[in-house]
Copies of this chain bind each other. A is one copy, B any other.
Amino acid sequence: MDGPKVIRALGALAQEHRLAAYRQLVQAGPDGMAAGALAEALGVPASSMSFHLAQLANAGLVVQRRQSRSIIYSADYGAMNALMSYMTENCCGGAQCSSGSACDSTPTEAKDAA
């Protein structure tokens, strides 16, 4: 995952409704959720939800598929893992690392930058 893409991903998540939407999608799992269901769950107008979902999709964090009239969104775990890898590799910069939680230093490059 390269710089610009990381910035887009971080920016996509750095917004109340989008972070909430993403969390909702993670919770929903592979089945995903329809745009309308998300809008209702978050209490956001459909057009606004669409705007936010487009940003998440543009950042590659979610994928969409049409199912009849609905468009189903689901979280792309690969993209999130790539983002986490980038952060992990760049939050300790070769130096020591606080060991406990995140920052477990995956070698150098994520194998899959979606």
Contact = CB atoms under 8 A, between A and B. Distances in A.
Contacts of A83: 102
Contacts of A97: 77
Q: Kindly report how many copies of this chain are found in the complex they form together.
A: 2
A3 B18 CA distance: 12
Interface residues of A, number: 41
A23 interface: yes
| Interface class of chain A by DSSP | helix
A102 B88 contact: yes
A39 B30 CA distance: 44
Contacts of A29: 93, 95
B91 A77 contact: yes
Contact of A93 (B23, B103, B104): B23
